[in-house]
Amino acid sequence: MTSFFNGLATAIITPFDEKGINLEEFGKMLDFQTDGGADAVVVLGTTGEPATMTEEEKELTLDYAVKHVNGRIKVIAGTGSNDTKKAVAWSVKAEKLGADGVLAVTPYYNKCTQKGILEYYKAICEAVSIPVIAYNVPSRTGVNILPETAEKLAGIPNMAGIKEASGNMAQASETMRRIRGKIDLYSGEDFLNLPMLAIGGAGLISVASNIVPALLKKIYTSVMQGRLKEANEVQDSLLPLIDACFTEVNPIPVKAACNMIGFDAGLPRSPLTELEEGNKQKLLQAIKNLGIKTV
């Protein structure tokens, strides 16, 4: 299936406080995304730190997001696991909680074969009726969805797309060739947003849009309307910020950035640490250079 969503999806952070999830602040962040033009939010993706959240916290966060957004934009739940049964169970739960779709990262650590990847996504898709997006990020998982496997995934009825974050544009182009018109391809790496759209990507699943959703949406809109010069100008202006957002492992920098622009995002949970001072100054300067107010 195609066109589950087109445009911008923000891989949104989860704000923590001493009690757990800061739902009041999370609501403000969700509103910031809807007001900024995001078409969807990915809740409990990598950027949301689900690996260090309890099952109860994850359910609370997703339930709150669905109810707070109330249909204004799509809510996509991160449900992947290195255990197929857990990924299936979480996908089923996400559907029951009202998520519009799920984003399932490839099985990590186990380093399964391409056949294993295919069977994993088949199991998830067969368990739910909502759209499923596969998430390819080999640098984190040790597993890479090859183009020929992507082509097979495209034959699954409710498979909606692939979030491509391999960093390999040659592979992304071949994947796009094989799945074009069957399922969608989404940019999962902010550095490559523009080239991914240029080869036919349906949208962006962005980390940097936690800070500047309107600018990320502008890149998408400019490309779709054929204004490539404008799209390049916006992308060029954002590259220093994008670079600063990945000086340390995601979501350490972007969570710091959210605090800098006025949200009470809290700190990442251990084993992630607070952004180091030198990187903090680089990030702060990049934000200020875009004319964004800081606190």
Query: If you average pLDDT over residues 274-295, what whole number do you get?
Result: 95
Whether 9 contacts 203, CB under 8 Å: yes
Helix or strand or coil: residue 130? Answer: coil
Q: In the prediction, which pLDDT does 5 show?
A: 93
Catalytic position from the list 93, 163, 255, 280:
163
Average confidence (pLDDT) over 183-203: 96
pLDDT of residue 103: 98
Is 64 designated active site? Answer: no
Residue 14 has pLDDT above 90, yes or no: yes
Candidates 120, 121, 135, 220; catalytic one: 135
Q: What six digits make up the tokens of 237?
A: 């202006």
CA distances from 279 to 22, 209, 262 (A): 25, 19, 18
pLDDT of 241 > 90? The answer is yes
- What the chain holds in terms of domains, given with CATH numbers, is 7-217 (3.20.20.70)
Residue 210, classified by CB atoms within 10 Å of its CB into exposed (0-12), middle (13-18) or buried (19+), is buried
Q: Is 163 a catalytic residue?
A: yes
Given a contact cutoff of 8 angstroms between Cβ atoms, the answer to whether 269 and 52 are in contact is yes
Average pLDDT, the chain: 96
Q: Exposed, middle or buried by CB within 10 Å (0-12, 13-18, 19+), for 9?
A: buried
| pTM of the predicted protein model | 0.95
Residue 1, pLDDT above cutoff 90: no
pLDDT digits (tens, 9 = 90+) for 210-223: 999 999 999 999 99
